[in-house]
Structure 1
Amino acid sequence: MKALIVCTSKSHGNTRKVADTIGSVLDARVVDPSEITAAELADYDLVGFGSGVYWMALDARLREFVDALPAGQGREAFVFATSGLPEPKFRPYLRNLGDQLTEKGFEVVGGFACRGLDTMGPLALVGGLNKGRPSPDDLTSARGFAEQLRGRFA
């Protein structure tokens, strides 16, 4: 199995920590959307797409990258995110990303989310929300998620 993770992580590196953890289990290359083309995705059996959550939305760079992908991808994908707060039912950003990938021809085989340090807006005044996250336990959970993904190709 050849895996790739397309990840945006800009505030505190929360999402990159999760991507690197998943990537270490999958022996996957971790890249920013600007470092890969849609055509290069054809070289991979499994592609992960991850982002931090900013004002209840995934990073625009990741959303734009997925928007620009041609239809007919025909490979497996997974989604993941870090956020200060749980995903609200009225704004299911991971499900929306999964739906978008399905429309592009991916089979979405899983998703992972955990809390991350959040210092957006007024939270910065109090040092942020979720200090120390993603925690070692969060990264252990990410590792378990990746092992399940790897098991699909065993």
Structure 2
Amino acid sequence: MHNHTVRVTGVLLHADKILLVQQQTESRAWSLPGGKLEPGETLEEGLIREMQEETGLDVRLIKQLYVCDKPEDCIVHITFLLEVDSLDQLRMPTNEFETTPITDMAWVAPVDLPEYGFSDQWARNVSLGFPDAPRYAGLKANVGL
């Protein structure tokens, strides 16, 4: 039996561009900001913490965009659309606790996402506003369970 890691990432749009962070991983150099949940965190708490650590921004979750698996690494990725009141606090992270430090940030137009290692399909989804996005209800109690 394998324990799965849950990763949360955020799509933050501003002036029709999406915020990416440069962080060298095995599959690409640019990615969405986010990271692994800590024990006891909700999806929302984890993503708010990760965004604060990686970008300095205080974000709000607007809606869940998608859930996808990486079974070979036992990882579940959950991505949300975010909003922020102000970009004044945007900053590079200290990378104090990062095993793969963030070295840059960029605001990228959807049409340019393939140049940053994202697929044409994903760039289209960003351009279209993720029309098939599901709903995130938060805690089980919010749906009556």
Which category of TM-score, normalised to the shorter sequence, fits these structures?
A: under 0.3
TM score, norm. by length of structure 2 = 0.27
* Greater fraction of residues in helix: 1
* Greater fraction of residues in strand: 2
